[in-house]
Amino acid sequence: MAANKSGPIGIFDSGVGGLTVASAIKQLLPDEAIVYFGDIAHLPYGDKSPEAILHYSKKITDFLIGYDCKIILAACNTVSATVWGELSRYTMKRAIPVNVIDSVVKRVAKLNPDASIGIIGTKNTINSGTYPDKIKKISPRARVFSLPTPLLVPMIEEGFVYDDISNAIIRAYLSNEVLKEIGTLILGCTHYPVIRNQIRKFYDFRVEVVDSAMIVAEDLRSTLESGKLLGSEAKSSDRFFVSDHTEYFGKIATIFFEKKINLEKLDFWK
């Protein structure tokens, strides 16, 4: 597979979550153009079947490759946890496939081999066991505690952030006995960095809350450098596509990128 050095970075997620990763990539790699697809019409992926998730992911991958993307980044933990093997094989002949789990696991597992690590994410991400399995391969002595937190994605997508509703939901989840003894918490969903400060505050800042966005961006830069694929200047403008439009998506995109983002609605499932 010969990726085009001047091609953009393709990024997709089920909604606004992937914007956290896209924003980090633009901060770290300002000369790279990105093409983003938010599949709001099928949000959330966390309660969909693997077959449906793979179908959506392949269609979006085909769309992004149509823009000559050199990287296809699945900025969705559910995709990365449930269908990554087949999706990466589907992608690799045409672009470099990247997910959001491997980079985080490597960073966290190597810091402290005896760590007590908590993971929160969608039902599919947690039930897949992907995070514990990958962490244990690197640090067999690590203790890993997982908790599904399915209400957080729709809460964030509906704009319930920094209010009594979001604080109550966060408190209800994080008070679970499963997470009682953790020293590190992995946010196993790219939506969750939006509420990272609320989570840190719940723990009185005593627990390290790991935001995957910048970790993934740093690993992506290393991948481009090693493959001699770093762009020296963005050859095209960033593009943002959604399969459905919500007012909140536009607001979040504007906040992350500190400018008005033009959202292009495109539903190629019809």
pLDDT tens readout for residues 208-230? 999 889 999 999 999 999 989 98
Contact 100, 21 (CB under 8 A): yes
Percent residues over pLDDT 70 in the chain:
97
Instruction: Print burial letters for 232-251: b (CB count within 10 Å at least 16), e (below 16).
Output: eebeeebbbbbbeebebbbe
Q: Is residue 270 part of a domain?
A: no
Annotated catalytic residues are 76, 189
Contact 71, 220 (CB under 8 A): yes
Residues 196 and 109 in one domain: yes
Q: CA-CA distance, 84 to 82, in Å (whole number)? A: 6
Q: Which two tokens stand for residue 57?
A: 């992911």
| Res. 269: pLDDT tops 80 | no
Contact 148, 250 (CB under 8 A): no
How many domains is the chain partitioned into structurally?
Answer: 2
pLDDT at 235: 62
Range of the domain at 171: 102-212
How confident is the model over 89-130, as pLDDT tens digits? 999 989 999 999 999 999 998 877 788 999 999 999 999 999
By C-alpha distance, which of 263, 213, 259 is closest to 20?
A: 213
Q: Is residue 3 part of a domain?
A: no
By C-alpha distance, which of 42, 50, 73, 185 is closest to 125?
A: 50
β-sheet bridge partners, residue 209: 185
Q: Is residue 168 part of a domain?
A: yes
Distances 120 to 151, 160, 211 between C-alpha atoms, Å: 11, 18, 12
Q: Is residue 91 part of a domain?
A: yes
Residues 95 and 218 in one domain: yes
**Mean pLDDT score of the chain:** 92
- Chain centroid to CA 108: how far? 16
